Amino acid sequence: MLKFILTCEHGGNEIPAAYQTLFKDKEDILHSHRGYDKGALELLQHLKELPDKSFASSTSRLLVELNRSVHHHGLFSDIVSGLPDSEKQTILCEYYYPYRNRVEELIGDLVSVGHQVLHISVHSFTPVLDGEERQADIGLLYDPKRESERTFCRSWKKAIQKAQPALQVRFNYPYLGIADGFPTYLRRKFTSEQYIGIELEVNQKYAEAGGSAWQKLKNTIRRSLKAVLLQARPEAVEDNSA
């Protein structure tokens, strides 16, 4: 049976009390796309009726980047990178490993008893980066070499565009699905028969504007995802929300 988990690695811009002096006068960056993924946590909560389990972090990515491997150069922001190695190790032990280990251990437990796991990691992207406007409303990131991921994303795109044809949905945009990220790490741990890893990227212009367009987009994502899940496991999806 297919089991479904949702995660949100960049849900908030909170800084623990022990590190707040590092971020004094850094409110602007904390509230920018560099501090967190605007709207991602709200979207995850809008989808909460669908997964078997969900995980979210509200700690700012500027403290530690939960969507990067432990050896990635971007694991720590410039604000934190100058700390002694011992302090950075403390941050990893308190905020990085507990989050990632909980997700990995659950997947391991599920596949060990014969389940396949669908993991969707919820993100959002800034509409303009380095002066260039991103040309998408939704991005679906996956590994093209994994047929199960490719098939799922094709079905999901069709369902999204059936519900809201005007939306521009792109594959592996604005980032590549095989770039360093949590699903990329998990693919190295589990086979394609055990694990399907997708990153959902939503343009932040909707969350920033709010209102009916943002609500409509959230509903479209939920209903389209529900439709695709029903095809995969019709007995397991119960969502009575509007």
d(CA 119, CA 17): 31
Omega of the bond prior to 165 within 30 degrees of 0, cis?
Answer: no
118: left (phi over 0), alpha (psi -120 to 50) or beta: beta
Phi, psi of 231 (to 5 degrees): -65, -35
pLDDT in tens, the chain (242 residues): 999 999 999 999 999 999 999 999 999 999 999 999 999 999 999 999 999 999 999 999 999 999 999 999 999 999 999 999 999 999 999 999 999 999 999 999 999 999 999 999 999 999 999 899 999 999 999 999 999 999 999 999 999 999 999 999 999 999 999 999 999 999 999 999 999 999 999 999 999 999 999 999 999 999 999 999 998 876 655 544 44
Structure tokens at 65: 């980047």
Instruction: Tell me the domain boundaries of the chain.
Output: 2-232
- What is the value of pTM for the model shown? 0.94
On whether the 2-232 domain is CATH 3.50.50.60, my answer is no
E strands, 57-100, in order = none
